[in-house]
Chain A
Amino acid sequence: MPFEQLLVEGLAMGACYGLFGLAVVIIYKTSEVINFGAGEMAMFSTFIVFHLLTFYNCPFWLALLSAIIFAAVLGVLVQYIFLRPAKNPTLLSLIVITLGVEMLLMGFASWKWGAEQQEFSLPISYMITYEPIEGFIISQWALAVFIIAAIVVAFLYFFFNHTNLGTAMRATQQNKHAAKIMGINTDRVFAFSWAFSSVIGLIAAVLLTAKTILDPQFMLEPFLKAFAAAVLGGLMSIPGVLIGGAIMGLLENFFGYAWPVWKPITAFLVIVLMLCVRPSGLFAKHWVKKV
């Protein structure tokens, strides 16, 4: 494979990880919860698209739209039912709760759709390629990923900087109690951030299905890579997670080309080494712990 194509495909994969990492970061930014169930929430919503497409013969846009609504409701429900009742949760109990959500959703998905792989056809394919510049080949899938990622990021930028809800989310992240005093309904802000995260996760997962198979475990590794990308970016900054995702995708693609057998772990090892050098991620401001 030529260098340019590895680069483009790696960046496209990285954009998917970055998008999915955004789903992790949005929740972490508002409520300081690492959502280990993000992958399975996205997987479940993707299965809704699949179900509507195969069993009800919906057009793709309708299926996607219904799944987006479903994903938003799922995000709100998970926050409302599972996270809100926990009193003064520690970091470990939050991790355990979100891992519980993961097991729950994975169990339900395998119960409903079985553990076997499903046929799922996106309207975009990575087999169709364009060659806008001589020698520079870009697939339809990569093009779609770049466009969608750009739209989502532009939307998020606008949302966080120029809307009331976005400002409220940033305020909640900075100081929950002060935000409450200012009249922000922080519970509702959390619910919204979960809905946003769930929808972005769904979009990333649908884009990823073009490259992988669809089964109840298909989001496990992408989730871990997206999480690693988010950690690399410092878990707090939105540009950081996108750059982290790009690094992740490129590393994975180039290492995968050089040593296909070790593709799944090389990127991880690099991340762990990087974390040892800079524990708070590449882009977070240096963080000092209060005693």
Chain B
Amino acid sequence: MDMKRAYYEDIELFKSGTILFWTIVLLVALFTLPLISSNYYLYLFNLIMVHVILAVGLNILVGSTGQISLGHAGFFAIGAYATVLLMTKLSIPFFPALILAAFIAAFFGFILGLPALRLEGPYLTIATLAFGLAIMHIIGHTEIFGGRSGLRAPELNIGIPQFGWNFSLTTDLSKYYLILIITIGMVLAAINILKTKVGRAFVAIRDSDIAAEVIGINLTIYKTLSFAVSAFYAGIAGGLFAFVLGFFDPVTFNMFLSIYFLVMIVVGGLGSIMGSITGAAFITYLMYALFKNIRDVPYLGEFLVNISQRWLSITGMDNLSAIALGLVMIGIMIFEPMGFFGVWIRIKKYWKTWPF
């Protein structure tokens, strides 16, 4: 659509003044948002941003490198548990703990990347699924991880307590700003990774790994690197998720969470950063806000309650979210396999070439 005349045009962050303008508008909106929204919505926004970090990382793996993972809840759990345990057991300050936890997750990503060198398609799916389940079981049966009863996150102190610098973030508002800044940093990093040699190697592997190997891309390095980068993002997201939730147990990180993550990037659009962000926001809103409170929606809520009472069961009404998610997954795949990003491209194309 847009012709590029120089290498610099391909790697610059903002392709045009319009994009720069709207990015600034979005950032200003995000920073001023807490002034007008209630505490509950701040909690929701925190969850959304955590999922955005994870979705961006997962999209590097699935969308850009073409390796399917159904085990990202495992990396997410590693991030959450490692951050909290490093802080409580070894009393490491928050930021080093978070980064260390992300590196632990990345190490596990590297380990999972090794079988991925030989497996593909359905075989890789079962391997990653098994990884996610194994992590959940190991956490659930080991004393140090709190076992089945779960862990409580400590106070979020972003200072260094050893030196007497204490900055405790207790409200959702202060956590919002912390997570917002980290999210912006992570998203920027992802955009830039995809524009470097590494990112182009990932895309080449996705399009054809044999062709990529022929032109001199070391598959061993880049496939494991893709897993590690993706797991690093999941680790950061998990560490923040622990403090957003405050309390978590192994069941929080079950297989369905991995499916939700996959749905986020599929709904948003594979291989697109903006797509991961919108997809994560949409699915999180659907799961944590809309269907938690479906009873309060006018007309529709009453209608569903009536149906439940007459034919189905009223206690099972919370499972509407699973039904809706299933329909979204199938619908997006049938009607718009590129997700929101595909819709956006189509709209853009329509207006650019308008009279024709």
Report which A residues bind B (CB closer than 8 A).
28, 34, 82, 85-86, 89-93, 95-97, 99-108, 110-115, 220, 224, 227-228, 231, 235, 261-262, 264-265, 268-269, 271-272, 275-276, 279-281, 289, 291
On whether A231 and B123 interact (CB within 8 A), knowing A82-B330, A289-B210, the answer reads yes
Q: Is B305 an interface residue (CB 8 A)?
A: no
A101 touches B319 (CB 8 A): no
Closest residue of B by beta carbon distance from A115: B316
A113 contacts across to B, CB distance below 8 A? 313, 316
A262 contacts across to B, CB distance below 8 A? 137, 141
For this complex, 10 residue pairs linking A to B, each with C-beta atoms less than 8 Å apart, are: A96-B263, A97-B333, A103-B329, A106-B322, A108-B323, A111-B312, A111-B316, A111-B323, A114-B316, A115-B316
Contact bitstring B97-123, A, C-beta under 8 A = 1, else 0: 000000000000000001100110111
Question: Contact check: which of A99, A235, A275 meets B259 at CB < 8 Å?
Answer: A99
Closest residue of A by beta carbon distance from B321: A107
Question: Contact check: which of A93, A107, A228 meets B130 at CB < 8 Å?
Answer: A228
A103 touches B127 (CB 8 A): no
Which of A92, A276, A280 gathers the greatest number of chain B CB atoms within 10 Å?
A: A92
B329 touches A110 (CB 8 A): no
In angstroms, how far is the closest chain B Cβ from the Cβ of A150? 27
Q: Is B133 an interface residue (CB 8 A)?
A: yes
Q: Is B157 an interface residue (CB 8 A)?
A: no
A271 contacts across to B, CB distance below 8 A? 126, 130
B333 touches A103 (CB 8 A): no
B262 contacts across to A, CB distance below 8 A? 96, 99
A105 contacts across to B, CB distance below 8 A? 326
Instruction: State which size class the interface on B falls in.
Output: 35 or more
Question: Contact check: which of A97, A104, A269, A275 meets B134 at CB < 8 Å?
Answer: A269
A91 contacts across to B, CB distance below 8 A? 68, 121-122
A103 touches B326 (CB 8 A): yes
Q: Is B218 an interface residue (CB 8 A)?
A: no
Question: Contact check: which of A86, A106, A291 meets B334 at CB < 8 Å?
Answer: A86
A268 touches B130 (CB 8 A): yes
Given A100-B328, A280-B123, 16 more A-B residue pairs with CB atoms under 8 Å apart are A34-B125, A91-B68, A93-B337, A96-B329, A99-B262, A99-B329, A100-B327, A103-B256, A105-B326, A107-B324, A110-B319, A111-B320, A112-B312, A112-B313, A114-B316, A115-B316
A-B pairs with the 9 shortest C-beta distances? Answer: A104-B326, A100-B329, A107-B322, A103-B326, A107-B323, A100-B330, A268-B130, A110-B319, A111-B316
Q: Is B180 an interface residue (CB 8 A)?
A: no
A66 to B62, CA, bound (A): 42
B319 contacts across to A, CB distance below 8 A? 106-108, 110-111, 115
On whether A104 and B322 interact (CB within 8 A), knowing A96-B333, A269-B134, A276-B115, the answer reads yes
B137 contacts across to A, CB distance below 8 A? 262, 264-265
A95 to B69, CA, bound (A): 11
Q: Is B192 an interface residue (CB 8 A)?
A: no
B323 touches A279 (CB 8 A): no
Q: Is B325 an interface residue (CB 8 A)?
A: yes
A275 touches B127 (CB 8 A): yes
A278 to B141, CA, bound (A): 30
Contact bitstring B34-58, A, C-beta under 8 A = 1, else 0: 0000000000000000000000000
B320 contacts across to A, CB distance below 8 A? 107, 111
Q: Is B129 an interface residue (CB 8 A)?
A: yes
In angstroms, how far is the closest chain B Cβ from the Cβ of A37? 9
B259 contacts across to A, CB distance below 8 A? 99, 103
A279 contacts across to B, CB distance below 8 A? 118-119, 123
A231 contacts across to B, CB distance below 8 A? 122-123, 126
A214 to B348, CA, bound (A): 50
A280 contacts across to B, CB distance below 8 A? 123
Which of B259, B321, B328 gathers the greatest number of chain A CB atoms within 10 Å?
A: B259
A264 to B136, CA, bound (A): 11
B126 contacts across to A, CB distance below 8 A? 224, 227-228, 231, 271-272, 275
Q: Is B315 an interface residue (CB 8 A)?
A: yes
A100 touches B316 (CB 8 A): no
A108 contacts across to B, CB distance below 8 A? 319, 323
Q: Is B255 an interface residue (CB 8 A)?
A: yes
Q: Is B25 an interface residue (CB 8 A)?
A: no
B119 touches A275 (CB 8 A): yes
